[in-house]
Amino acid sequence: MIILGIETSCDETAISVIEVEGDLENPIFKTLSHVVHSQIKDHEPFGGVVPNIAKREHIRNLPYVLVEALHKAGLILDFKFSILNKIPNENIPNSKARECWSDFFEQIPKIKIDLIVVTVGPGLEPALWTGIEFAKALGEKLGIKVIGANHMEGHIASVLFGKNKEKLNFPAIALLISGGHTELIYLKNWRTKEKIGETVDDAVGEAFDKVARMLSLPYPGGPQISKLADRAREERVSLNHKFPRPMINSGNFNFSFSGLKTAVLYYLKSLPEITDEIKLGVAREFEDSIIETIISKTQKAILEYQPKSLIVGGGVISNLELRKNILNLNSKFPELKILIPEKELTTDNATMIAIAGYLNTINKQDYPLEAQGNLRIT
C-alpha cells in the first residue's frame, strides 16, 4: 500500500510517500520520499511563526514540495516546472486557493497512490486549512481517498520507523516537546490513549524562543540557547541567581513556562548591563530549570503509570543536555525502553503523518477533513 502524507500545521510544508507492507497488525514501513520545506527564514524577522505568512507560504510551496516528493519516490518522471511560476506570491483568500492551483493540478498525471493522509490538527488553523484543501483537490484529481490525521499522534507514531520498531512495548508514555506543544500522553496501546498532562501556557520550545529573543539571539532560539548553555557548562560559568521551576510540585502532570520566562525578563531588566557572561549564565540556568521540570514530571508519570516504554518526540529533543537527562532515566528505571525517533522524524514532517493515517485505518479512527486548531488526543 502506498500512502502520501501532507503536513502543514505550522511552519513546515512537508510531503512524504511511504510504502506499507506486511499484515495489518505488524506493518513494515519504507520511506519512498520525505520532503520538508522549512519556512524559518520567512518568520525569522518576526521572532516567531506568523499564521498568515505560514498560510501564504504553504499555498506557494505545496505544489513544489509535491512534485519533489513524487519525483523522489519515482512516481512521476518529468514535470513542466514552469507551471509552478504561475502561483502568486501574495496572501490569497481561502476561496481562491484552489483556483491558483488549478493549472498545476491539470499537469499532474495519474499516479499509483492508495491513500492520502493530511494533518487536520492541532496547529495553526490557516496553515492546516491549506494542507486540507490541497489534499482534497489532489484526491479529487487522482480519484484517491483522503483521510485526516492528528499531528500529535504523528509524533508518537514516528517511533514505529526504523530500528525502534522492535522495542516498543505497551503501555507507554509519550513526552511531546516542541515549539507548539508540551504534553505527556499515556498509551495503553495504539488505540487507547489519554493526555495526562500539558502546558497551561507557553510550550517549551516557545519559552526557549522567547527567552532567546530577550537575549537578542536569532529565531529559532532553542538551538542558540542550548549552544550558550553548553558553553557555560564547559567554561564553568553559572549565574548567581536561581530561576523558578514552575509547577514542579503541582501534584499533577501539567507544565507552565510563562512564569519562568517572566522571571528571566525581570532579572535581565534588573541589571545595569547584559554582558556576554550574563548571557551564558542565563542560558544555562534557564535550560537547567526547563530540564529539571521536564524530567521531574516525566519521572512522576513513570512512577504512577509504570510504562514499559517512553516515547519522546518534538524538536526540543535536539537539545543534547535534555536528551542526556532523558536517557539517564534508565539509571532509575532500567527496564524502561526509551524511544527517540531518528533525527529527521523528531521535527515536523509528513512521514509521521502518513504512518498515523495508516494506524487510523487499522483502528477505524476517523477525523473530519476540517482544520481543528485545538484537536485533542482521543
Interface with ligand KG4 (CB under 6 A): 10, 178-180, 205, 208-209, 220-223, 226, 314-316, 318-319, 347-348
Decide which of Zn ion, ligand KG4, none touches 205; Cβ closer than 5 to 8 Å per partner kind.
ligand KG4
Closest approach of Zn ion to the CB of residue 173, in Å: 18
Closest approach of ligand KG4 to the CB of residue 281, in Å: 17
Is residue 349 within 8 A of residue 355, CB to CB? The reply is no
Instruction: Look up residue 255 and give its DSSP letter.
Output: B
Decide which of ligand KG4, Zn ion, none touches 222; Cβ closer than 5 to 8 Å per partner kind.
ligand KG4
Residue whose CB is less far from Zn ion, 178 or 309: 178
Residue whose CB is less far from ligand KG4, 55 or 104: 55
The string of DSSP codes covering 213-235 is HHTTPPSSHHHHHHHHHHHHHHT
Residue whose CB is less far from ligand KG4, 73 or 280: 280
Q: What are phi and psi of 271, to 5 degrees?
A: -95, 145
Angle, helix 125-142 to helix 94-107, in steps of 10 degrees: 40
Closest approach of ligand KG4 to the CB of residue 185, in Å: 15
Closest approach of ligand KG4 to the CB of residue 102, in Å: 31
Is residue 316 within 8 A of residue 221, CB to CB? The reply is no
Decide which of Zn ion, ligand KG4, none touches 285; Cβ closer than 5 to 8 Å per partner kind.
none
Residue whose CB is less far from ligand KG4, 180 or 197: 180
Point out which residues pair with 5 in neighbouring strands.
Answer: 16, 117
Which cell is 59 given?
Answer: 499555498
Alpha carbon distance 295, 248 (integer Å): 10
Residue with cell 522549512: 38
Widest distance between CA atoms in the chain: 66
Residue whose CB is less far from Zn ion, 202 or 348: 348
Decide which of Zn ion, ligand KG4, none touches 126; Cβ closer than 5 to 8 Å per partner kind.
none
Closest approach of ligand KG4 to the CB of residue 208, in Å: 4
Residue with cell 550558550: 228
Decide which of ligand KG4, Zn ion, none touches 134; Cβ closer than 5 to 8 Å per partner kind.
none
Closest approach of Zn ion to the CB of residue 117, in Å: 15
Alpha carbon distance 71, 78 (integer Å): 8
| Chain residues that interact with Zn ion, rule: CB under 5 A | 178, 348
Residue whose CB is less far from Zn ion, 10 or 338: 10
Is residue 217 within 8 A of residue 225, CB to CB? The reply is yes
